[in-house]
Amino acid sequence: MRRQQVAAAAGAARWRGDGGGGAATAWWWVAAVVLGHLVSSARAGLLESNPGLAYNFYQKSCPKVDSIVRSVTWAQVAANPALPARLLRLHFHDCFVKGCDASILLDNAQSEKKAGPNLSVGGYEVIDAIKTQLEQACPGVVSCADIVALAARDAVSYQFQSSLWQVETGRRDGNVSLASNTGALPSPFAGFNGLLQSFAARGLNLTDLIALSGAHTIGVASCSSVTPRLYNGNATNVDPLLDSAYAKTLMNSCPSSSASGTVNLDGRTAVKFDSSYYTNVLNKQGTLASDAALTQNAAAAQMVQDLTNPFKFYAAFSMSMKKMGRVEVLTGTNGQIRKQCNQVNSS
């Protein structure tokens, strides 16, 4: 516990600075991209050892990989604004279970895809569409794991029309996918210590926990993930960490403990990737119990306050996405390059 407190304090000091929120203007956006890329590159060797990934890994073997992934992803996001959240969640859920190896895409009988936490994960059709085009352009070269990482970045970046973070490539695809391994995924009901431990098990720290939680600025949650904060059986019983007015908003979408609908994770700007999530959390308007948990530790709460500033949020998110993308990756001759993302190569 003492180590967690020391790490938390160190992480808070790293991000402490002038507060300030507000919408991300074009100036903020350009500055955030530049700083995020520079800081990410400069600190890469300090954060952890490089696992064998590289920028422009496919420069010679598939030079159009970035443009193909971006073109397919942006076209689909333009038609379906729910896709950025889905593809970002797909990437998270892949990396948190046996690393970023596209194991979540496999369709075997007991695959990760069949586990409860993954039943609401989507975006598979985008990955398949990208894979189809890449197999035509450069057969057997680009891994499904890299496609997942690139598509998540490009889907979120669509609103900016510019890449929010850099993606290292060179991952290879795993051969094992088991629903029983999904216990590694953070729970929407987790308290602060549980979240910190879940991230630490993946080599991620407090800074990463706070920055990556910002993904909840887009997307939806099932009512079953929210109603324990609203009801005890048939009786109303609102979580004291939840704003009473916002609780009523949630109840309108989830009118009983057995409601089967969904609610927006960000009640202010549901389809806009911005820093409003952190303002929500500070105002006790985080949708999930795990969102509210971020204010139950002093160092974490300070980081939440800092990341209400969009400039700091984009920079922090960029760094932590790069770090998460390195979790337990397969490189070199490990794993394989799948011909179809939903099944292991037969030979």
Residue list, annotated binding site: 94, 97, 99, 101, 103, 112, 186, 216-217, 266, 269, 274
**DSSP class per residue in 57-89:** TTTTT-TTHHHHHHHHHHHHHHH-TTHHHHHHH
In this structure, which long-range contacts are made by residues 60-67, counting pairs with CB atoms below 8 Å and at least 24 apart in sequence? 61/138, 61/141, 62/134, 62/137, 62/138, 62/141, 62/142, 64/137, 64/138, 65/134, 65/137, 65/138, 65/142, 65/146, 65/150, 65/169, 66/150
- 92 three-class SS: helix
Identify which of 107, 99, 127 has the alpha carbon closest to the alpha carbon of residue 331.
99
**Identified catalytic residue from 93, 284, 312, 326:** 93
**189 — alpha (psi -120 to 50), left (phi > 0) or beta?**
alpha
Identify which of 105, 150, 110, 109 has the alpha carbon closest to the alpha carbon of residue 130.
150
Binding-site members for heme b are 216
- DSSP label of 93: H
**Do 130 and 151 meet the contact criterion of CB atoms below 8 Å apart?**
yes
CA–CA distance, 21 with 16 (Å, rounded to integer)? 14
- 180 three-class SS: helix
Identify which of 85, 88, 93, 40 has the alpha carbon closest to the alpha carbon of residue 323.
40
Binding-site members for Ca(2+) are 94, 97, 99, 101, 103, 112, 217, 266, 269, 274
161: tokens are: 């029309």
Residue 37 bears catalytic tag:
no
- 141 three-class SS: coil
247: tokens are: 């609780």
Which residues are designated catalytic? 93
